Amino acid sequence: QMKLVESGGGSVQAGGSLRLSCKYTGTTYSGGTMAWFRQPPGKAREGVASIRTDGSTTYAESAKGRFTLSKDKVKDTLDLQMNDLKPDDTGMYYCALEGWGPSMATMGETTFGTWGQGTQVTVSS
């Protein structure tokens, strides 16, 4: 029932910033952890940042100090502010919702099964 739509990706030089947004909609959504994952070219999908229903956040080590995850409860969006971008940040970024689905991935102790279509982030040096 949930639909996730990402936006905000693009091409940026190292040191630049991007703000990704995930619009979520669904009549049966009752809450759950949400996250941003990324999949670099030729590599596996990895969790970048997640936020629980209580507002607590978890970041991948590579994202700490540079990325900030937040929810806009008015706009129903999950936003990822990415600063000081590096070439290693390049990849397809996906918004995810905790739960079961056709495709599953984990970050920490949380499993995610609902995904958006992804938005490409390319960081050049």
Q: Nearest-5° angle of CA 6, CA 2, CA 118?
A: 25
Residue 29: the pLDDT is: 53
- The token duo for 33 is 């952890």
pLDDT, position 34: 95
User: For residue 107, what are the contacts with CB-CB under 8 A and spacing of at least 6?
Assistant: 35, 37, 47, 50, 58, 60
Using DSSP bridges, classify how beta strands 10-13 and 67-72 pair: parallel, antiparallel or unpaired: unpaired
Q: Given this model, what pLDDT does residue 28 score?
A: 53
State residue 65's pLDDT score: 97
What gap in Å lies between CA 98 and CA 118, rounded to an integer? 16
Per-residue pLDDT of the chain (125 residues; tens, 9 = 90+): 789 999 999 999 999 999 999 999 975 555 789 999 999 999 999 999 999 988 999 999 999 999 999 999 889 999 999 999 999 999 999 999 999 999 999 999 999 999 999 999 999 99
Residue 31: what pLDDT? 74
State residue 26's pLDDT score. 79
